[in-house]
């Protein structure tokens, strides 16, 4: 989803939530005012008794609607808090992506992120930084539901089939798996690792192969 559409969609959801709250408040208000309108009515004893029953019914319905309105407000606040958290996370990742782009174009800035792996040429380094940005975007899409598990497996398998993708996950898999900050992030990284292992199985799982060094690659 283009980033320019996300603020518009978030704004539409916010206005929809506000409209829902206003409708609920209006309904509750109508029920609350109805007893006073009945008080202004002057009629016979039978009509007064009927009015009393109607007032009791309105009171019970008003209490139920008040609870529903309160629940609606709570749900709206929870959804807005979630959207705010997602917006902040997206802004943070966008800032990091901009910094990585600068590092890709300038080796001196790249060194500011930490020591560059020995023997890694500029081309390989730029590929690793670029793949890291791709994986970060996948993670954001997966956590928001825009990218499903089946599609994630397909594109991850395609990336890991290439040499740059294989080298990236070999160096990043342990760090990403061990630093997942949420259940969805953990599942995201597990799916990537499962596809990597499927494309590049350990030696003892390869048909006709033998274990090298007694462990996994």
pTM tops 0.85, yes or no: no
Q: Which residue has the higher pLDDT, 191 or 8?
A: 191
Listed residues 47, 66, 98: the one ending a domain? 98
Q: Which residue has the higher pLDDT, 55 or 94?
A: 94
In angstroms, what CA-CA distances link 28 with 16, 21, 40, 66, 80? 19, 11, 20, 6, 23
Cα–Cα nearest to 195, from 165, 215, 175: 165
* Separation of alpha carbons 97 and 55, rounded Å: 62
Domain match, 120 and 187 both: yes
31 Cβ neighbours under 8 A, 6+ residues apart = 58, 61, 62, 65
Instruction: Kindly tell me if the per-residue pLDDT of 58 is higher than 90.
Output: no
Domain match, 188 and 148 both: yes
**Could you tell me if residue 105 is inside a domain?**
no
pLDDT of residue 80: 82
For the segment 12-25, the average pLDDT, to the nearest whole number, is 64
* Separation of alpha carbons 138 and 27, rounded Å: 43
Q: Which residue has the higher pLDDT, 83 or 25?
A: 83
pLDDT of residue 166: 95
Task: State the residue range of the domain holding 68.
Answer: 5-98
Instruction: Kindly tell me if the per-residue pLDDT of 13 is higher than 70.
Output: no
pLDDT of residue 133: 92
Domain count, the chain: 2
pLDDT of residue 16: 65
Domain match, 192 and 124 both: yes
Paired tokens of 187: 């599942």
């Amino acid at each position: 989803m283009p980033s320019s559409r996300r603020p518009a969609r978030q704004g539409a959801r916010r206005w929809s939530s506000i409209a829902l709250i206003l409708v609920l408040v209006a309904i509750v208000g109508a029920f609350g005012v109805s007893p006073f309108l009945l008080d202004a009515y002057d009629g016979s004893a039978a009509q007064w008794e009927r009015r009393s029953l109607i007032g009791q019914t309105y009171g019970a319905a008003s209490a139920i609607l008040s609870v529903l309105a309160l629940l609606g407000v709570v749900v709206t606040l929870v959804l807005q808090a979630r959207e705010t958290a997602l917006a902040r996370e997206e802004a943070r990742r966008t800032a990091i992506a901009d910094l990585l782009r600068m590092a890709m174009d300038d080796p001196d800035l790249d060194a500011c992120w930490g020591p560059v792996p020995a023997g890694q040429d500029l081309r390989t380094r730029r590929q690793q930084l670029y793949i890291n940005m791709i994986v970060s975007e996948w993670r954001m899409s997966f956590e928001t539901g825009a990218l499903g598990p089946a599609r994630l497996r397909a594109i991850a398998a395609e990336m890991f089939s290439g040499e740059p993708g294989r080298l990236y996950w070999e160096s990043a898999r342990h760090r990403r798996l061990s630093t997942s900050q949420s259940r969805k992030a953990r599942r995201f990284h597990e799916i990537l690792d499962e596809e990597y292992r499927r494309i590049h199985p350990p030696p003892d799982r390869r048909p006709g192969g033998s274990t090298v060094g007694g462990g996994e690659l």
